Structure 1
Amino acid sequence: MTKLSLGAHPYMLGFEQLERLLERSAKSGNEGYPPFNIEQTSDNSYRITLAVAGFGEGDLSVTVEDRQLVIRGRQRDEADDRIFLHRGIAARQFHRSFVLADGVEVGAAIMENGLLHIDLTRAEPEKVVQTIRIEKGQTS
């Protein structure tokens, strides 16, 4: 049995970019940290919530890069003058990315009680009906 890719399906024309986005998303290297939720807050809006306890606003960056929402966290290790008898909370960094569909825009990013909330909205696409005129071909 041959594997049929999305771009090679005879009824799916022009979806090569979507296939590349899916491949890039699968290879993005997202590990399990930090844990996150994605919730639908209305018909056209979503909220991504990441558990980022220990990170301050200055330790986090939220960017949109080539239709990907990218969240990065980098904690500063300020333990130079402290002596730990046990260190179970490590200063670590993370990189988490989400592929955004066309029409999805990133709104506010809100930090609250160790949770980073990122609001997304999806614009309602216009319904367009286009009539294509059929021309008579020339015979030779």
Structure 2
Amino acid sequence: MRNSLDWTPYRRSTVGFDRLFDFLENTGSADNYPPFDIEKIADDHFRITVAVAGFKNDEIDITAQQNMLTVSGRKAATKEGEERKLLYSGIATRAFERRFQLADFVRVERADLADGLLTIDLVREVPEAMKPHKIAIGGTQHVLEDKKEAA
């Protein structure tokens, strides 16, 4: 399903958000398994919750690489003699891979699995050099006067 919104007016008035608009235009993914929530806990703290009912810790893999977080799961093969005779199977246990695009300076703090929900806590840590800082007006005049005195 294609997104019916036209993002062109917003693209013209923003700088550096091209990836965001590309993401919004391409969100019509047909595969929505497993379901997930993304919540904002604080200004620089986020949580992704993925419903992974039936999966154990050792059947789930979480990988963070650059600006991409990948959560994948694969059920372990059943052992011999443990054959189950299901009358109805409604719990999805198929293999999955879910990718999340992370913003710059966002890192995975921790992950927990409880009650069929995988929670991944994310923290944005902007380096001091990248934070906004005040620039003094007329600061170059002092540098020029120091150079004149040295000559």
Q: Residue 58 of structure 1: SS of its match in structure 2?
A: helix
Per-residue CA deviation, residues 1-56 of structure 1 (Å, 9 max, x unaligned), is 9x5683xx3762xx2xx534653683795722111111111121011111111111
Checking the alignment, whether the CA contact within 8 Å between 2:48 and 2:119 is kept in structure 1 is yes
Checking the alignment, whether the CA contact within 8 Å between 1:62 and 1:72 is kept in structure 2 is yes
TM-score, normalised by the number of residues in structure 1 = 0.70
Checking the alignment, whether the CA contact within 8 Å between 2:75 and 2:94 is kept in structure 1 is yes
TM-score, normalised by the number of residues in structure 2 = 0.66
1:54 to 2:54 alignment: yes
Over the matched positions of the two proteins, sequence identity in percent amounts to: 33
1:119 to 2:124 alignment: no
Which structure has more helix as a fraction of its residues?
Answer: 2
* Counterparts in 2 of 1:110 and 1:28: CA distance versus 1, 3 Å: farther
**How far does residue 76 in structure 1 lie from its aligned partner after superposition?**
2.1
The amino acid of 1:64's aligned partner reads A
Runs of 4+ in 1 over 6 A off after TM superposition: none
Query: After alignment, is 81-90 or 69-78 more displaced?
Result: 81-90
Which structure 2 residue ranges, 5 or more long, are not aligned? 1-5, 141-151
**How far does residue 83 in structure 1 lie from its aligned partner after superposition?**
5.2
**How far does residue 104 in structure 1 lie from its aligned partner after superposition?**
1.3
Which structure 1 residue ranges, 5 or more long, are not aligned? 134-140
C-alpha RMSD over aligned residues: 3.2
Distance 2:46 2:74 in 1: 25
The structure whose Rg is larger is 2
Distance 1:111 1:85 in 2: 25
